[in-house]
């Protein structure tokens, strides 16, 4: 859902140049019709293994940063 609303934000709502609510509704309906006709499932490229690698890197970075901060405070 978040991806869909992100697309709506970028493709429909921005720029915010509407003169009234009816115009927003019209633009949303046109977008919805076109999106439903052309939408395809997202091909996720970020795997569970990628997530594990990212979390490990973040953990190492956080640990390294804490050690550097502690060493600086001790000096």
pLDDT digits (tens, 9 = 90+) for 16-34: 888 899 999 999 999 999 9
Instruction: Using a cut of 0.75, tell me whether the model's pTM lies above it.
Output: no
Neighbours of 8 (CB within 10 A): 16
Burial of 41 per CB tally in 10 Å (0-12, 13-18, 19+): exposed
Tokens of residue 70, six digits: 């502690």
Is the pLDDT confidence value at 58 over 90? yes
Q: Are 27 and 7 in contact (CB under 8 A)?
A: no
Task: Tell me what pLDDT residue 41 has.
Answer: 84
């Amino acid at each position: 859902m978040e991806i869909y609303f992100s697309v709506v934000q970028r493709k429909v709502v921005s720029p915010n140049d509407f003169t009234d609510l009816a115009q927003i509704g019209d633009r949303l309906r046109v977008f919805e019709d076109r999106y439903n006709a052309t939408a395809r499932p997202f091909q996720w490229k970020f795997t569970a293994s990628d997530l594990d690698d990212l979390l490990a890197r973040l953990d190492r970075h956080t640990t390294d940063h804490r050690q550097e901060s502690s060493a600086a405070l001790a000096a």
